[in-house]
Amino acid sequence: MFEKREVNQLIDLALAEDLGPIGTDVTSDSTVPPEEQAVAHMVAREACCLAGIHVAVEVFRRVNPELQCDVLVEDGRAVEAMTTVLVIKGSAQSILTAERTALNFIQRMSGVATITAEYVRAAGNPDVMLLDTRKTTPGHRAFEKYAVLCGGGTNHRIGLYDAVLIKDNHLASWEKKYGTGVGECVAAARKKYPDLKIEVEVDTVEQLKEALTTRPDWVLLDNMPPPVLRECVALCKGICKTEASGGINLDTIYDIAQTGVDAISVGALTHSAPSIDLALDFVE
């Protein structure tokens, strides 16, 4: 999902933020003898779907390559409360310096994975893809989209470069300039980027019918109730795939997942995921 170089760049930025211009953990430097060795356990204090364990390991190794990190639980696994997921051995100073940064990454990523797993279960339909969105923490998109995968979800487009998604503001701009509708807009995008997936957002059945004349790869059915979604799915059969989106939550996703849509996108997977309570405790 992401390259080690990308991981290290973000880790280095986070560590620099913590250690400041002098590059030193002044508390550990002044209170913990440099020769002191320790064993620490990273523990999930609440049940969760784990994500980011190897990112956390890389934080410890960036601080001190001599630290020994033993992974006990891999990403994507469901863990019960009070489960030890990682054991770190080595310099006590180094463990303390890396602690918060490592926890920040794995707590956030596990939160995304856990809420994704909750939505997958609530949908109750393995034939429907649960998609993420671009509503991610700036700079952390690769990590958060990886966490969605850990929770059983599927990645939508990564950015603005790997797929065309024509939304309402694009259509408004197009119509203002050219005076034509959604069908012509889709055709223009197809001509400009013939090798990319083309998706278009529609709000009504009438708008969908016009869009289908130019055969997009996907249509995003925005804020439609289940009966309308079923009608739209029938119209799209054999032409394109369907994505339901807009205001979907844990209470509504089941009914939407039974309408026949191919996918459901939920921004809350990344923009509203709570961090999971993980902690680091010295045991020796």
Active site residues: 100, 135, 167, 201, 222
> What is the rounded distance in angstroms from the CA atom of residue 64 to the CA atom of residue 107?
21
Q: Are 211 and 219 in contact (CB under 8 A)?
A: yes
Half-sphere exposure of 187 (CA within 13 A, CB side): 10
Token output for 271: 């923009």
Q: Spell out the long-range contacts of 71-78 with Cβ–Cβ below 8 A and sequence spacing 24 or more.
A: 74/50, 75/50, 75/51, 75/113, 75/150, 76/49, 76/50, 76/51, 76/113, 76/149, 76/150, 76/151, 77/49, 77/50, 78/47, 78/48, 78/49, 78/50, 78/117
> What is the rounded distance in angstroms from the CA atom of residue 222 to the CA atom of residue 209?
14
Q: Are 98 and 48 in contact (CB under 8 A)?
A: no
Phi, psi dihedral angles at 279 (to 5 degrees):
-140, 160
> What is the rounded distance in angstroms from the CA atom of residue 185 to the CA atom of residue 174?
7
Q: Going by C-beta distance under 8 Å and a sequence separation of 6 or more, which residues neighbour residue 141?
A: 134, 158, 159
